[in-house]
Amino acid sequence: MFDIRISDHPPSTQLVLRRQGTDTVLPPLWLRARSPEASQRDPATGQRLFNPHLLPDNLTLTSASWQDDRLQLAFSDGFAGAFDPAELRAGTELTEGCPATRPWRADLPTPPVYRWTELQDDRSMLRALTDFLELGFLLIHDTPTQADSVLDIAQRFGYVRTTNFGQFFEVYSRPDSNDLAYRPVALGPHTDNPYRTPVPGIQLLHCLQNETSGGLSTLVDSLAVIAQLRREDPQGFELLCQVPVRFEYRDADTHHVAVKPMIELDGSGAVAGVHYSPRLDDIPLMSNADTQRYHRARKRLGLLFESPAFELRFKLDAGQLMMFDNNRVLHGRTAFNPAEGHRQLQGCYIDRDGPRSLYRVLQCQLGDHAAPAAPYEEPALEDR
């Protein structure tokens, strides 16, 4: 329950926000910077026309009154204007306006599967985006299988990020390849390209053909794994958040290096991302004792990432695609035998902000009118 009231005890005037029984004074500097007046904010873009850090340090509110349903406020720097209480209430929460994450394990009851045709409808798209932002991945079935269809699918969600691999990359077995992904070996859970700055945000892997019995795809939610590690071994968790690791990739034309901890936290201490690719990382030189401590933490993290308790495992058939947040959901595959037949995937990257932006736009347009879940056969997840 939100309520804004004026507290007048001359010489001081205050606006007080009551939220869930707790009172918070709205500071004059905070209020003044939020003025929606056309002299303070460009009406077309909503962008501020002055630098709030130049307001006087000791700014005070000199008067406050209600006029109809708006607040008239005057400040000690001479500015006076109308404020919308709904906008002030909304501004008290620094939310990104997207659904909260929902960590999952192998027992996730219903994996988010959508048909490509279904996603042409904005209401279904809003539902898919909600699933994606909560769970960090989507499976899309019945997609076209032209040589570059992955780009069309990616563009429904955001803008394709071109890298030294091109707009998209091919994943099929070739002996002279520049990456282990292009051999038929098993690939343990990993995030792609931790050596880039910035790391690719979202990855799409699109199956064009799969005639092999192996090559099963795997997905693991690092949020669930890291929560478990944090409970079991808080100090190990801290080490993985603090100790920088060096990731490197080089071939004839490219040399990428990035140094960063495996677990990245945001300003509030929540896990913002994971960078995990044991084929590519080098730890710094530390004392033997610190190296052993770090080693134990990293080993436990790796074992949890590989634990069947956390892993979804399924076959991607031709026309099926998985899209996942590359900073959250690890992917991998089991080994396959190229003698059994062809296995060809194409992959590409988009930035993390694409689906978030589209979610906000569709949410604003459609509000509570997202399409109800259509009945759909669950993807075949391997018996574990």
333 binds ligand AKG (CB under 6 A): yes
* Number of other CB atoms surrounding residue 250 within 10 Å: 11
Secondary structure string (H, E, C) spanning 232-277: HCHHHHHHHHHCEEEEEEECCCCEEEEEEECEEECCCCCEEEECCC
Binding-site size, ligand AKG (CB under 6 A) = 11
Structure tokens at 38: 């056309």
Q: CB of 190: closest distance to ligand AKG in angstroms?
A: 7
Q: CB of 212: closest distance to ligand AKG in angstroms?
A: 11
Residue 291's SS3 state is helix
For residues 210 and 380, the answer to whether their CB atoms sit within 8 Å is: no
- Asked if residue 198 has a cis previous peptide bond (ω within 30° of 0), the answer is yes
Q: Which of 111, 112, 273, 347 binds ligand AKG (CB under 6 A)?
A: 347
Centroid of chain to Cα 246: 23
Distance in angstroms (rounded) separating the CA atoms of residues 184 and 171 = 10
345 binds ligand AKG (CB under 6 A): yes
325 binds ligand AKG (CB under 6 A): no
Phi-psi group of 316: left, alpha or beta (phi > 0 → left; psi -120 to 50 → alpha; rest → beta): beta
Q: CB of 161: closest distance to ligand AKG in angstroms?
A: 15
Q: Which of 125, 133, 181, 274 binds ligand AKG (CB under 6 A)?
A: 181
Q: Helices (H) and strands (E) in the chain — how many of each?
A: 8, 22
Q: CB of 374: closest distance to ligand AKG in angstroms?
A: 27
Site for ligand AKG in 149-178 (CB under 6 A): 171
Q: Which is nearer to ligand AKG, 237 or 336 (CB)?
A: 336
Q: Which is nearer to ligand AKG, 15 or 321 (CB)?
A: 321
262 binds ligand AKG (CB under 6 A): no
H or E stretch at 213:
none
274 binds ligand AKG (CB under 6 A): no
Q: CB of 179: closest distance to ligand AKG in angstroms?
A: 7
Site for ligand AKG in 190-249 (CB under 6 A): 192, 205, 217
Q: Which is nearer to ligand AKG, 112 or 332 (CB)?
A: 332
Interface with ligand AKG by CB under 6 A: which residues? 171, 181, 187, 192, 205, 217, 331-333, 345, 347
